[in-house]
Amino acid sequence: MSNAPDGNDPLNVNPTTEANTANPYATPQVQQVTYMPPQHGQDMQGDATGGLIPYKNKHALIAYYLGIFSFFIPFSGIASIFLGIKGLQARKRNPVIKGSAHAIVGIVAGVCTIIFHICAIVGIVVGNLPW
């Protein structure tokens, strides 16, 4: 076996002068990244929250929390339904703001809790009647 640079070297022990002379172990050069400011009208909502909290649509956000807490606060679901509808209207007027899911959850939770509270009141009243 010969290690002569005759092109017959499978392990490339003796590379020829035509071989790539770049160091494969060199640290790659860092590319400079330039900051691009947001364009006018570009959605900046949810920068820190990832778009999960619709802080621009206050009606939808309040409807969501009222809908959740209306299970514990009787008949606060009425306000949740009202604010959820206002949140959906705000989303329809300005599609840049988010919050339609929060508004829908507020409306549905408000309706469910109103039905629950009415059934509970009817059950208490009917249960206390002397039949």
Summary count for the chain: helices (H), strands (E): 3, 0
Residues of the domain holding 65 = 58-125
pLDDT tens track for 6-65: 556 566 666 555 555 677 777 777 677 777 766 665 555 545 555 667 677 889 999 999
The whole model's pTM is what? 0.59
- The answer to whether residue 130 sits within a structural domain is no
What is residue 38's DSSP assignment? P
Q: How many domains does the chain have?
A: 1
Tokens of 101: 């899911």
- The answer to whether residue 113 sits within a structural domain is yes
- The answer to whether residue 83 sits within a structural domain is yes
- The answer to whether residue 50 sits within a structural domain is no
